[in-house]
Amino acid sequence: MTTNAIHCADRELKLDSPAVMGILNITPDSFSDGGLYHNLELALRQSERMVAAGATIIDVGGESTRPGAQPVSEAQELERVIPVIEKLHQELDVIISVDTSKAQVISEAAKAGAGLINDVMALRGAGALEAAQKSALPVCLMHMQGEPRSMQSNPHYQDVVSEVKDFLQQQVQRCLAQGINQDQIILDPGFGFGKTLAHNIALFKHIGELKNLGYPVLVGASRKTMIGQITGKPVEQRLAGSLALATIAAINGAAIIRAHDVAETVDAIKVATSLMS
């Protein structure tokens, strides 16, 4: 029952064409932009640039989930993200997503003006499912094998596409049983989260199957290791590869593309969707 619009608190996310989610990491150690937007003014200026470039959503994260990342405390994550969410909600006409797995951060972000919960743990953390339901916000459920510190040590699947689909369907059922509405659920296959290059490629080839589960699909592959493995390029030289993946995702039915390079991604999606119509 894929929907064409999702209510995100006081704003509406229209999905008649792929939306671009701009990445705003309020972290010192994220793999691509760690340390760049560590204060309120820098975060606001970057968000303004992304909105002007066409971002429909700004995804605010206070804890790095790169391979090998160390966890941060709930208090530290709150200190990083809540002032930013409040400021963006006051200053910009954009949907704000909070990239977190912690129940208290979900609750406080909702009060601060967040319109979407983006959880790499698919609401499996202590109290996260209950907090999400109480917030009345839509949720993005991501697949990850293992956890960030160890997820890339030895990822293994019998059939990665089937196993990711099964996992996501199980998490959907948990949400529905908790009282989260069917039209408030987004799915993310979790490219690079406990997956080898072969696993990531297999999932990309079957984005349409994930879409057929009946929920909007979010694809986040911007600047990721899989691009480096294919091209041999370091993080700062992965724009072309990121745009190629964004284009393929859009053509295959992804509803949301999560990206660092918003302006270029918006253009790539415009061209791709114009040829599909």
Query: Could you give the residue numbers annotated as active site?
Result: 224, 258
Rounded CA separation 258/104 (Å): 24
DSSP-derived letter for residue 127 is T
Residue type, 261: D
Rounded CA separation 3/153 (Å): 37
3-state SS assignment for residue 186: strand
Rounded CA separation 72/74 (Å): 7
Question: Two tokens at 80?
Answer: 């990083």
Rounded CA separation 267/277 (Å): 16
Locus of tokens 């390079």:
261
CA 21 remoteness from chain centre: 7
Residue type, 240: A
DSSP-derived letter for residue 120 is T
**Cα–Cα nearest to 9, from 112, 83, 92, 142:** 112
DSSP-derived letter for residue 69 is P
Contact 241, 231 (CB under 8 A): yes
Angle between helical axes of 160-178 and 197-205 (0-180°, round to 10): 70
Rounded CA separation 60/44 (Å): 11
- Give alpha helix (H) positions in the chain: 40-52, 74-91, 103-112, 128-135, 160-178, 197-205, 207-211, 225-231, 239-251, 262-276
